[in-house]
A and B are shown apart, each in its own frame.
Chain A
Amino acid sequence: MADDYPKVDRVMGGASGWFSIALPAVLFLYFLGLVPQIAEAPQVRGIEWVPSLGIGLSVLLDGLSLTFALLITGIGTAVTLYSARYLGQHPDYPRFVAYLMMFMVGMLGLVLAGNLISLFVFWEVTTIASYLLIGFNADSAKSRRSALQALLVTGTGGLILLAGMIVLGTVAGSFELVDILSQGDMLREHPWYLAILLLFLAGAFTKSAQVPFHFWLPNAMAAPTPVSAYLHSATMVKGGVYLLARMNPGLGGTEAWFWILTLFGGVTAVFASVMALRQTDIKQVLAYTTLMALGTLTMFIGAGTHYAIMAAMLFLVVHSLYKAALFLMIGIVDHATGTRETGVLGGLSKAMPLTGLAAALAAVSMAGIPPMVGFIGKEFMYKAGLGLGGFGAIWVTVMIFAASVMMFVVAGIVAWKPFRGELRETPHAAHEGPWPMLAGPLGLGALSLIFGLFPGVLAHYFVGPATHAVFGEVREVHLYLWGGINMALILSLLTFLAGWLMYRRHEAIRHRLIRIEQGSRVNFDAGWDRVLDGLKALAAWQTRLIQTGNLQTYMAVIFASFTVLVGTTFLLRGGMGSGINYEADGVHPIQWTVLALIAMGAILATITSSRMTAVAALGVVGIGVALIFIMFSAPDVAITQLLVEVLVVVLVALVMLRLPHLPVRSASGFRAGHAAIAAAFGILSTLVMIAVLQTPFDRRLTDFFEIASWPEAHGRNIVNVILVDFRATDTFGEIVVVVMAAVGAYALLRGAPGAKPTPEDEEPVQVAAADKGEKV
């Protein structure tokens, strides 16, 4: 894809490119400066946003959020530097930068938010930015479908999460994370605990692509490679993991938490690492290994011991470093050779030595070989797994062993096989990548080595504080490369052995897996399509049922349901009670005259066979009502009523003049039915009005406006002062509605019937599916 667009002459993406590199770099340095301070004590800062609802833009800075913030800005810098070269000449590159920056802001907000509601808002920002970035190549039906799929899966999860947050906030009495997390014991005992937990997990599992919601993540690889490296390996998909880690002090530590997280996480980790072996496209291989990492993190957060949390935080950093490097590396290879297929690539280390070095650094860490930090990560995962009690220890250790073996194999597939042996024939001749693209993967790879050699830095500044934040109490965190001969080391050696044996046979294993997959009837992606089709069919069915398109039916249904619902309530609440006076005394003769006019207009409207007469008769009714308003000293309402009435008559007359002269439907049953509905509605309204007007009138609001109107709003016309000052927000909403209605009607009148979207010729089936999805 790198070459098939018209290039725009820009150096490093022009102004937007430089901006996109500078912003995360500056933020990275800023957050780095905060590290020593935060390692000592977490901080909460913030401003109020909607104080009446307890929603604030508070910022929670502790080891966890700061580690995430550094990953977001640090990898962000590497990715933007890379993209400026990778996509800098793309005509839509500035748009890409806008999306990427939007994502970065959303992600930073997500991890730094100290309030559940603002966390949710940023959570959704990342979802939307991810949608826009996956669909960046909007010409391709495949990327549009993938983008929509990611949006719907994570967006649905987000809405469920919002429900969970509201329940949690209500139970805890605050939306501030600090307040919620300190009430862990109360929350775990609360009868709604399980509901809150399940709602939160639905959000976290969709975002972090746990089985069975995993299918969107491999599809999301339709995004440009820098996006995959940034969003779909190091940052966004870890949003769910972040949420789990963040909520651990408040919601974690129960049986339900332990088993749901370790089971789903373990299954995801092993399923994903098996699926990774089946792929031939290296980007897809990496996508599945990302799933494996997310499953592993979920599993260890679920396990919940101090060691397990520490292993999770360590692996979080380890994985982000090596995975982003590997994604960027495969982007360089793709850019240089034009392919990402494992079967085609070979011997690249001669043509691309620096890329090969970056790949090697990252892959050795991924395989968990010393002295890389990946080795420490794997050791501590084994230790944490073995340290659990009972069946949990066996489950977690077996899952992590299986996943680690396959990570070893995958490391061989993505970073050993393409680079060793003879240089193979590729679509383009292989050549070394430019420095802006190499800087990121080499830097990240180097960090994997540095942290492996000096694990104390990592422990003191990042893993330690993050573990404290997640675990909830301060304990010593000590990381080391060599821990003596113990069970974890023996398991590590077994991992290498098993991995090496499997790597030698990985081609055969892949063929076997492909055969199993073809024979299997479980296909999540196809299932997704069926769910969507079902939803659309349901929508079409209920639209046909309710939206008949017949105005007479609509009116009859509206008035009949109003009559039945209000009438039932009225009777049940004693609206016809004895205390109500139905005598009409004190009505002036002029008022009687106006009432008679209104009644005559109404009767004429129902019995006439001419539309024009009916409209005019209704006009009489409306103007009669306006007269009554004048009699009761409401000139503003009367003027409005009069003007609206005139306009309605004019508008309806305009339409009527041009309608063909249809015979009025006069089947006696039809008219009798409408007459009954109309009469019942009229009588009910009258009775309700009589009853309502006899209850004592609450003058508090009236008094307030009478007193406050002149001194506070400098106006003597209370109605207008209410409209434009006291309740101006309502009025603002109303004028927006007026304009929207007018524009909507305009579009309906102007819309050329029969205009259809032009079909695309590539991939006809998927285009149809994607188009249908987007038009809904």
Chain B
Amino acid sequence: MQSLILTTATRLLVALLLVFSIYALLRGHNLPGGGFIGGLIGATGFILYVIATSVSDARSALRADPANIAMLGVGIAAFSGIMGAFAGDAFLTGQWLFLFAAEGEKGLPLSSVLVFDVGVYLAVFGGILTLVFAMEEEI
């Protein structure tokens, strides 16, 4: 299935969707979004790319095997949980670091929670693409 309009639009849309997915991931803690939604949006972008071009193009655009991305996501999520252990907390207890914090100003919040959300993002993203790529290739 080759459609000139779809192919052309996809080039713009994929980039947009990927940027938007990361935006959704990062804003998730205070506004609608988060790793799960972000991962779904990112996966949608690549699925669009698969439909417009082919799986092999999508694979080479992605560079890494989606199954590996998914595994990496689970690993990152697990690691974010272990970070709590260094502070003597239970598994997956959020660890926070406020960079440039001043009086009355929280500064830039960095946390193991965000690392966990990145893991969720990658796991969902990679998991869905693993499935879609395999379906497209095998059926």
Chain A interface (Cβ < 8 Å from any Cβ of B)? 635-636, 639-640, 643-644, 646-647, 650-651, 654-655, 658, 713-717, 719-721, 723-725, 728-729, 731-732, 735-736, 738-739, 741-743, 745-746, 749-750
Contact = CB atoms under 8 A, between A and B. Distances in A.
A725 B127 contact: no
B134 A735 contact: no
B81 A640 contact: no
8 contacts: A639-B32, A715-B30, A717-B30, A723-B120, A725-B113, A728-B113, A732-B116, A742-B127
A49 to B, nearest CB: 12
B132 A654 contact: yes
A429 B70 CA distance: 60
B41 A643 contact: yes
A735 B34 contact: no
A720 B34 contact: yes
A643 B111 CA distance: 27
B40 A644 contact: yes
Given A738-B70, A738-B127, 8 more contacts: A715-B29, A716-B30, A717-B30, A717-B31, A720-B28, A724-B120, A738-B128, A743-B130
Contact of A647 (B40, B120, B134): B40
B92 interface: yes
Interface size class of B (residues with CB under 8 A): 35 or more
B110 to A, nearest CB: 11
Interface string B92-124: 101010000000001001010100110110011
B29 A749 contact: no
Nearest to A658: B139
Please classify the interface of chain B as helix (H, G, I), strand (E, B), loop, or mixed, using the class held by over half of its residues: helix
Contact of A640 (B36, B96, B116): B36
B31 A716 contact: yes
Interface string B27-51: 0111111111100110110010001
B71 A717 contact: no
B47 A724 contact: no
A735 B96 contact: no
A743 B128 contact: no
A648 to B, nearest CB: 11
A277 B132 CA distance: 65
B135 A720 contact: no
Contacts of B18: none
A739 B71 contact: yes
B62 interface: no
Contacts of B32: 635-636, 639, 717
B134 A720 contact: no
Contacts of B120: 723-724, 731, 735
Nearest to A646: B44
B35 to A, nearest CB: 7
B55 to A, nearest CB: 11
**Which of B29, B35, B119 has the largest number of chain A CB atoms within 10 A?**
B29
Interface string B7-31: 0000000000000000010001111
Nearest to B139: A658
B116 A643 contact: no
B131 interface: yes
Contact of B126 (A723, A725, A739): A739
Contacts of A724: 28-29, 34-35, 113, 116-117, 120
Nearest to A640: B37
Contacts of A743: 67, 70, 127, 130
A746 B31 CA distance: 34
A395 B138 CA distance: 71
B58 to A, nearest CB: 13
B114 to A, nearest CB: 8
